[in-house]
Amino acid sequence: MKGNLTRRGKSSWRLKFELGVDPDTGKRLTRYHTINGTKAHAQAEAAKIIASSVTGSYVDHSRETVAEFIARWLQDWAATNTSNKTYQRYEQILRRHVVPHIGKLALQKVRAADVQSIQAKLAKAGLADRTRLHVHRVLHRMLKHAAQWGVVQQNVAGLIDAPTVVGKEIDILTPAALKKVLSSVQGRPIYSVAITALGTGMRRSEILALRWQDVDLDGAVLRVERSLEQTKRGGLLFKAPKTRHGRRTITLPASLVTALRAHWKAQQEQRLMLGLGKAPPESLVFCEHDGSPRSPNALTKEWSTLMGKASLRATFHSLRHTHASTLIASGLDVLTISRRLGHGSPAITLGVYGHLFKTDDRAASIMDAALIGTE
C-alpha cells in the first residue's frame, strides 16, 4: 500500500493514502495526515502510518480530548461494568487528578511523558503514594479500553512504572485506648454498633446490613449475608458479598450476646412507643427510629466527631483491626482468622496482619526429630 507525501509549507507535509474499501458502500477510503518536521522525519512518520494501515493497527485521526473520552468511557463502560461505589471512585479520581492536568489534550496526542508528569505533579502536591497508585491504575484501565476500541494505538500508561506504595501501620487499639474509646460512646446508639464491630471483626457496611433473622442469640452465632453500600450515584443499596468467603458464619462472645439482647429489647420498646409494633425478622439490627437503614457515611462522621470530642485517635475501622490482632495474639491460626474476617484468602490476611504473627522457633528442632530416623 503506497502513499503520497507532498510539501505544504516550510516544515509541513501532507500524507495521502488509501486505507482500503468501505465494505458497506464499496468506495475507496482515503485518509490524510499532516506531519510537521523535516522531510526525513515526515518520510519516517508516513512509513509508520502506512505500515499500521497494513497491519490493522491504524487509528483514524480524532480531536477528541482526554476529558471528552473520560466522559464517554464512564458512560459507555464504567456505568455498566462496575458497582456504584467503584464508578464513583473512578469518576472522582479522573475528575480531580487527571482532567486538571491533561483534560484539554487530544487523547491521541497523550504520551507516556504526559502520564508521568501527572504523577510528578501529584507527588509534589503531597498526595499519598496509595492515592497516586489508584490514579495510575484507573488511567491505565481507561487507556487500555481506548486502545481496544481503536481510539489510540497503544496504552501509554503501560509504558511508565506504577508508584510504589510503602505499607503503613494499621490502627490497633491498646487495652487502655480501647477502654477510653468504648467509654466515650457508652450510652449512645452507636455503642452497640461499636461492640459488634469489636466482637465480630465485621466491616461497617456488613454491620449496618445485618438483620435480626441473620442473628441467632441462643446459638451465639450470626450470619453475614450482605452489606450496605452508599454512593451519590446509587444512594443506599444492599449488596451481596464480593466473594464467597464474604458470606460467612461468625461465633459471638458471650458479652456481645448479652449486649445484643439488651439492644433488641430497647429497640422493641422504642418501636412500640412509636406505634410501629414488634420488629419483623427481616428488620435491621441497627437502623433509624423508623426502621430505615443507617447511613454508613453518617455513622463514620458521628464516630469521628465523638472521638474528636474525647481527644482520641481511633477510626471505626480500627475496631476490626483490634479484633484481628487480639485473635492473632491468642495464637489462633491464620485460616480461621481469615474466614472470620471474610477475606478472599489467607494471603490477604497475612498481607495486612502478617507482621503480628510471632515467629515459631521450633522449626529446627522439629526437623531434627523427623530426620533422626533417616540416618
Q: Are residues 84 and 146 in the same domain?
A: yes
Predicted local confidence at residue 315, as pLDDT: 94
Q: Are residues 44 and 74 in the same domain?
A: no
Q: For the chain, what is the radius of gyration of the CA atoms?
A: 29
CB atoms within 10 A of CB 57: 12
pLDDT digits (tens, 9 = 90+) for 149-182: 888 888 999 999 999 887 666 788 999 999 999 9
Residue 104 located in a structural domain: yes
Q: Are residues 7 and 138 in the same domain?
A: no
| CATH code for the domain in which residue 230 is found | 1.10.443.10
Position 375 confidence tier, pLDDT thresholds 50, 70, 90:
low
Residue 271 located in a structural domain: yes
Q: Are residues 15 and 114 in the same domain?
A: no
Structural domains counted in the chain:
3
User: Which residues, 6+ apart, have CB-to-CB distance to 116 below 8 Å?
Assistant: 160
| Residue range(s) defining the domain that contains residue 10 | 3-55
Residue 108 located in a structural domain: yes
Q: Are residues 95 and 243 in the same domain?
A: no
Q: How many helices (H) and strands (E) does the chain have?
A: 16, 8
Q: For residue 244, which of 348, 345, 349 has the smallest C-alpha distance?
A: 345
Q: Are residues 216 and 338 in the same domain?
A: yes
| CATH code for the domain in which residue 97 is found | 1.10.150.130
User: Which residues, 6+ apart, have CB-to-CB distance to 285 below 8 Å?
Assistant: 196, 207, 210, 211, 212, 214, 215, 260, 263, 264
User: Which residues, 6+ apart, have CB-to-CB distance to 187 below 8 Å?
Assistant: none
pLDDT digits (tens, 9 = 90+) for 287-318: 998 899 999 999 999 999 999 999 999 999 99
Rounded CA-CA distance 201/212 in Å is 18
- pLDDT at position 373 over 60: no
- Answer yes or no: are the C-beta atoms of 108 and 62 closer than 8 Å: yes
In the sheet with 221-224, reading across from the earlier edge strand, the strands are 215-216, 221-224, 248-251
Residue 279 located in a structural domain: yes
How large is the average pLDDT for residues 16-22?
75
Residue 370 located in a structural domain: no
Residue 216 located in a structural domain: yes
Taking the alpha carbons of 58, 64, 65, 67 in that order, is the dihedral positive or negative?
negative
Residue 168 located in a structural domain: no
Q: Are residues 104 and 150 in the same domain?
A: yes
- How far the first Cα of the chain sits from its last, in Å, is 75
Average pLDDT of the chain to the nearest whole number: 89
More confident residue, 68 or 14: 68
CA distances to 70, 72, 120 from 99, rounded to whole Å, are 9, 14, 15
Q: Are residues 288 and 334 in the same domain?
A: yes
Q: Are residues 49 and 76 in the same domain?
A: no
Q: Are residues 219 and 238 in the same domain?
A: yes
DSSP secondary structure letters along 214-235: GEETTTTEEEE--EEEEETTTE
The pTM of this model reads 0.71
Residue 47 located in a structural domain: yes
Instruction: Take residue 98 and report the three cell numbers written for it.
Output: 487527571
Q: Are residues 215 and 298 in the same domain?
A: yes
More confident residue, 310 or 242: 310
Q: Are residues 180 and 298 in the same domain?
A: yes
